[in-house]
């Protein structure tokens, strides 16, 4: 089975109806986030590349069509589905750009059935990956000088999600991942320590540490909190001296008051002349705990961030939507309470200080502004190159430098909001008036 059925049934139903009625005029859909989650002053756009890959290869396979036939779709509809591939255009924000509520991350213009069928998959990719990329960047902001490692694989919602988290955390500036498959596939640094089970499997803590060094290449990280944490640090110090370990050696703290234990561990290590031994912490960490550890001055060199990163625990989704904004040459908008949309294809212009302008796509650039939405596909073919991790990270770093400090706060951030161009406001007013007039006419006619 291909990816064409990775969708909601109502997408297939709508596309079938459009095709039956010959409703194949070009239509533009805009994918954006209505509002930012709590404690988010920005979002990091991600998942764009996977969306473009999906669109470029979209088609119904023979077994897809055979299954749909069993569900009652007509032979006429199945023949129409068999002929469908994505032939449209896409404008998209590049992977790693910082964006805000209301700004399109991508816009799809294609024959109405094609554009409609893309909705579910595009939302799935952008929603998850943007939530995770944003969480990862916030962790890096909070960690300051502490190096971060992705420990999320065992708690992500599926192994495919774990692969995404490894890539997105690397984009954010994490220095490694525990995910071996991701390290191999993406060229990342594979990082790992030992589990409490390893320590418990040996007759003593010291025996487990010695075996680890004897059986494996460096680096060596000793998990010291299986029994008594500070006693474990003392044991690790003895083994380091005994085996004359002078390079790439750490201890790992995985429970308790990490800040206080790090201070105690650092004192023990320094008293024994082991200033080169680093302190690595883990255990349900997120940006809030990292910020508190840094603020307390805890002597921590690196941290593994897992569950709360891989699930974006405090904000596991973004309120992303995919809305029709134009059919043929007719702009359209939704007027539902608290869910109103803006009509027409758009462009986001970024000015100095990340003061964004949301405008109609054809409008000229404001002075000194850069466009966020780039041509990504033309005629169903990709023209925007896939972003490397390094390119995406560079975009993140560049946008963070320009982002107001208030938006980067971990707690109670102040998120910038784009302003609407005069032309877009005028278009919205005219489209609203036309929709309301039609609604009144329908009421009279009924």
Whether 141 and 93 share a structural domain? no
Please give the residue range of the domain that contains residue 116: 9-130+318-445
Specify if 217 maps to a domain.
yes
156 closest CA partner among 319, 45, 316? 316
Whether 327 and 380 share a structural domain? yes
Whether 373 and 386 share a structural domain? yes
The order of strands in the sheet holding 147-150 is 176-177, 147-150, 302-305, 278-281, 249-253, 220-223
How confident is the model over 169-200, as pLDDT tens digits? 999 999 999 999 999 999 999 999 999 999 99
Q: How many domains does the chain have?
A: 2
Residue 72 CB partners (closer than 8 Å, separation 6+): none
Angle between helices 48-56 and 119-143 (to 10 degrees): 160
Alpha-carbon distance of 56 to 191, in angstroms, equals 35
Whether 167 and 282 share a structural domain? yes
Long-range contacts of 59-66 (CB under 8 A, 24+ apart): 59/2, 59/4, 59/84, 59/85, 60/2, 60/4, 60/84, 61/1, 61/2, 61/4, 63/1, 64/1, 64/2, 64/4, 64/5
The CATH number that applies at residue 200 is 3.20.20.70
Specify if 82 maps to a domain.
yes
How confident is the model over 234-282, as pLDDT tens digits? 999 999 999 999 999 999 999 999 999 999 999 999 999 999 999 999 9
What is the pLDDT confidence band of residue 124, given thresholds at 50, 70 and 90? very high
When pLDDT is averaged across residues 9-16 and rounded to a whole number, the result is: 98
When pLDDT is averaged across residues 358-368 and rounded to a whole number, the result is: 95
Whether 421 and 330 share a structural domain? yes
Paired tokens of 7: 């969708």
Specify if 2 maps to a domain.
no
Alpha-carbon distance of 163 to 67, in angstroms, equals 30
Confidence check: pLDDT of 442 > 70: no
3-class state of residue 122 by DSSP? helix
Whether 97 and 139 share a structural domain? no
* DSSP secondary structure of 138-207: HHHHHHTT-EEEE--GGGSSSHHHHHHHHHHHHHHT--EES-HHHHHHHTPPB-----HHHHHHSSSHHH
Whether 192 and 296 share a structural domain? yes
Q: How many degrees, rounded to 5, is the angle at CA 145 between CA 144 and CA 148?
A: 85
Task: Report the greatest alpha carbon distance in the chain.
Answer: 92
């Amino acid at each position: 089975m291909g990816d064409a059925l990775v969708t909601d049934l109502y997408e297939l139903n709508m596309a079938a109806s459009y095709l039956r009625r010959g409703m194949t005029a070009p239509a533009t859909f805009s994918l954006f986030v209505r509002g930012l989650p709590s404690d988010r002053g920005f979002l990091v756009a991600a998942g764009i590349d996977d969306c473009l890959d999906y669109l470029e290869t979209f088609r119904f396979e023979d077994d897809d069509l055979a299954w749909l036939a069993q569900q009652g779709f007509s032979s006429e509809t199945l023949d129409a589905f068999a002929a469908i591939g994505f032939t449209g255009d896409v404008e998209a924000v590049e992977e790693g750009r910082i964006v805000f509520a209301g700004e399109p991350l991508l816009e799809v213009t294609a024959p109405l059935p094609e554009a409609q069928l893309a909705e579910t998959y595009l939302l799935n990719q952008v929603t998850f990956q943007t939530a995770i990329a944003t969480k990862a960047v916030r962790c890096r902001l909070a960690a300051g000088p502490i190096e971060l490692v992705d420990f999320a694989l065992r708690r992500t919602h599926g192994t495919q999600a774990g692969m995404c988290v490894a890539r997105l955390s690397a984009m954010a500036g994490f220095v490694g991942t525990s995910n071996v498959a991701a390290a191999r596939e993406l060229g990342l640094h594979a990082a790992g320590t030992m589990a409490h089970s390893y320590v418990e499997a040996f007759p003593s803590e010291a025996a487990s540490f010695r075996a680890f060094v004897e059986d494996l290449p460096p680096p060596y990280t000793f998990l010291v909190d299986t029994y008594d944490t500070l006693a474990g640090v003392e044991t690790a110090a003895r083994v380091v001296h005994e085996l004359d370990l002078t390079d790439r050696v750490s201890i790992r703290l995985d429970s308790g008051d990490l800040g206080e234990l790090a201070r105690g561990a650092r004192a023990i290590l320094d008293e024994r002349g082991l200033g080169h031994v680093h302190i690595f912490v883990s255990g349900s960490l997120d940006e809030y705990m990292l910020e508190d550890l840094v603020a307390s001055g805890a002597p921590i060199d690196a941290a593994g961030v897992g569950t709360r990163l891989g699930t974006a625990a405090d904000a596991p989704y973004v309120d992303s939507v995919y809305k029709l904004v134009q059919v043929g040459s007719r702009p359209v908008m939704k007027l539902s309470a608290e869910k109103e949309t803006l009509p027409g294809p758009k462009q986001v212009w970024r000015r100095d200080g990340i003061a964004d302008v949301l405008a109609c796509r054809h409008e000229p650039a404001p002075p000194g502004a850069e466009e966020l939405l780039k041509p990504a596909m033309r005629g169903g073919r990709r023209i925007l190159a896939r972003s490397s991790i390094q390119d995406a990270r560079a975009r993140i770093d560049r946008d963070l430098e320009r982002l107001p400090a208030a938006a980067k706060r971990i707690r109670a951030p102040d998120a910038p909001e784009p302003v609407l161009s005069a032309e877009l406001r005028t278009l919205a007013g005219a489209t609203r008036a036309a929709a309301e007039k039609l609604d009144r006419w329908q009421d009279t006619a009924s």
